[in-house]
């Protein structure tokens, strides 16, 4: 005997669902009437979480021509295959930048052995050799990890202190670079540093090569340090002493970066803060800088922005006719193709100094020597993650994987070509 299953008509089938829907609406209205603030808070929370999960949490984009180096990065930096979860309550570019800086700044100072290098003009730069766990470093062929700080940084700057111990733990002999007048050094000549001149970095690398002629050199430049390092790589091409490079939060287009930093609000406030730091550097060394007769120091100390500071001081110190000429020369966006050694770049799409539209994405996509990782968020040297962010952050973890993989290679430069 067959069983007859009664079929519900469309209205009969939807009836229970409609009733449940109306009941849910009634309960929601009742809850809102009873607890309006809590109801609005819960709704806002759900909307926020939907936005966070859809627009903020994403896998990083990996840019570069397919080849040995890009394959090496993807195969060994396994966290690139995972989504980056920026701190949910502080994923904005300014929060990422400021809070990551504050957390890294709690790190204790590192112990260094300083090596002072005298430049041909009498100026001084220095190499700070990290002294912790040196007993694990043996032989003159041990790879060297060199770290180059940003605009107002030195070997004790927070983002350098957060990276050096990781490289040391991976087995590298680690060293921090200090520009003229930084790291507690006195300025010896009326000459500072800028993003368009890599002579001092070149000299430091030559000292490293003379001291350890058989040791591979992995150089990491952060912000301005990355600009200087990329400048050196572009100028030297295949003759670079550096065997592998890492560039973090680099400003590739000075004009675009400056325009971004001149926007009203927090960008401009940060612009003023950095300008004040640069003015302080000039004021601290005013006596030694006095011979620069083409510079009006009263105008320099009243500069309201980085553009004006570079117009009144940097461009004149280095012989440019205008700040526009300096910005054009110092920008490396269109010159990436000249880099001939394996180079990993790490940028955040929301970096206020290097907005995503100003990144050399097209140029790097045509290079088999340069691979760029672009995260959706991260700010400028931020890359903070976790509900309760603790070190190491995303960038430190990524570099640790990269350092670990590199040191296992027999010949870094050759094996990645």
The yes-or-no verdict on residue 21 having pLDDT over 70 is no
pTM, full prediction: 0.91
Tell me whether residue 26 is one of the annotated catalytic residues: no
The yes-or-no verdict on residue 5 having pLDDT over 80 is no
Task: Pick 293 or 135 by higher pLDDT.
Answer: 293
The yes-or-no verdict on residue 11 having pLDDT over 60 is no
CATH architecture type of domain 58-253+331-415: 3-Layer(aba) Sandwich (3.40)
Provide the pLDDT confidence category of residue 52 given band limits of 50, 70 and 90: very high
- CA separation for the pair 271, 264 (Å, rounded): 10
Catalytic site residue from 260, 351, 367, 395: 351
Residues 6+ apart with CB under 8 A from 318: 194, 196, 197, 326
Q: Which two tokens stand for residue 113?
A: 């052995």
Instruction: Give the pLDDT confidence of 339-383 residue by residue, as tens digits.
Output: 999 999 999 999 999 999 999 999 999 999 999 999 999 999 999
The yes-or-no verdict on residue 28 having pLDDT over 70 is no
Paired strand residues for 217: 144
Residue % of the chain over a pLDDT of 70: 90
Q: 97-106, 292-301, 389-398 — which is least confidently predicted?
A: 292-301
Q: Which two tokens stand for residue 317?
A: 């110190």
pLDDT at 309: 97
Catalytic site residue from 162, 170, 198, 223: 223
pLDDT at 45: 79
Tell me whether residue 324 is one of the annotated catalytic residues: no
Q: Which two tokens stand for residue 291?
A: 């011979």
- CA separation for the pair 240, 341 (Å, rounded): 8
Provide the pLDDT confidence category of residue 43 given band limits of 50, 70 and 90: confident
Tell me whether residue 380 is one of the annotated catalytic residues: yes
The yes-or-no verdict on residue 135 having pLDDT over 50 is no
Paired strand residues for 220: 147, 246
Contact in structure between 346 and 247 (CB atoms under 8 Å): yes
pLDDT at 6: 55
pLDDT at 417: 85
Q: Mean of the per-residue pLDDT values for the chain?
A: 92
pLDDT at 310: 97
Catalytic site residue from 155, 260, 331, 380: 380
Q: Average pLDDT for residues 151-180, to the nearest whole number? A: 97
Q: 11-25, 46-60, 320-334, 390-404 — which is least confidently predicted?
A: 11-25
Q: 9-13, 99-103, 252-256 — which is least confidently predicted?
A: 9-13
- Rg (C-alpha) for the chain, rounded Å, is 26
Contact in structure between 356 and 379 (CB atoms under 8 Å): no
Listed by start position, the domains of the chain span 58-253+331-415, 254-330
The yes-or-no verdict on residue 46 having pLDDT over 90 is no
Q: Exposure of 5 by Cβ count < 10 A (0-12 exposed, 13-18 middle, 19+ buried)? A: exposed
């Amino acid at each position: 005997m067959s069983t007859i299953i009664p079929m519900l008509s469309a209205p009969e089938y939807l009836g229970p669902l409609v009733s449940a829907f109306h009941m849910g609406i009634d309960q929601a209205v009742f809850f809102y009437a009873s607890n309006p603030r809590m109801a609005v808070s819960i709704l806002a929370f759900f909307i926020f979480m939907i936005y966070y999960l859809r627009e903020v949490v994403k896998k990083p984009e990996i840019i570069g021509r397919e080849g040995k180096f890009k394959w090496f990065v993807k195969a060994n930096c396994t966290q690139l295959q995972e989504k980056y979860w920026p701190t949910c309550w502080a994923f904005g570019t300014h929060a990422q930048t400021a809070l990551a800086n504050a957390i890294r700044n709690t790190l204790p100072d590192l112990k260094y052995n300083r090596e002072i290098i005298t430049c041909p003009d009498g100026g001084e730069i220095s190499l700070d050799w990290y002294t912790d766990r040196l007993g694990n470093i043996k032989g003159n062929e041990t790879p060297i990890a060199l770290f180059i700080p940003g605009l107002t940084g030195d070997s004790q700057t927070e983002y350098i202190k957060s990276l050096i111990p990781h490289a040391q733990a991976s087995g590298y002999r680690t060293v921090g670079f200090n520009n003229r007048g930084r790291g507690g050094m006195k300025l010896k000549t009326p000459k500072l540093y800028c993003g368009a001149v890599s002579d001092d970095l070149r000299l430091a690398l030559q000292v490293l090569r003379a001291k350890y002629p058989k040791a591979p050199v992995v150089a990491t430049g952060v912000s301005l340090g990355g600009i200087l390092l990329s400048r050196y790589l572009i100028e030297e091409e295949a003759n670079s002493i550096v065997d592998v490079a890492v560039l973090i939060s680099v400003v590739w287009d000075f004009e675009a970066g400056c325009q971004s930093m001149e926007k009203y609000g927090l960008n401009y406030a940060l612009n003023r803060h950095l300008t004040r730091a640069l003015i302080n550097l000039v004021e601290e060394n005013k006596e030694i800088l006095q011979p620069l007769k083409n510079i009006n120091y009263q105008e320099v100390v009243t500069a309201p922005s980085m553009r004006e500071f570079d117009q009144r001081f940097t461009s004149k110190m280095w012989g440019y006719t205008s700040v526009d000429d300096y910005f054009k020369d110092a920008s490396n966006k269109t010159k990436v193709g000249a880099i001939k050694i394996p180079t990993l770049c790490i940028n955040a799409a929301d970096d206020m100094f290097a907005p995503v539209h100003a990144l050399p994405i097209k140029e790097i996509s045509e290079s088999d020597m340069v691979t760029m990782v672009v995260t959706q968020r991260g700010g400028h040297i931020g890359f903070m993650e976790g509900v309760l962010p603790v070190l190491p952050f995303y960038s430190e973890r990524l570099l640790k994987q990269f350092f670990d993989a590199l040191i296992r290679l027999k010949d870094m430069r050759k094996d990645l070509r």
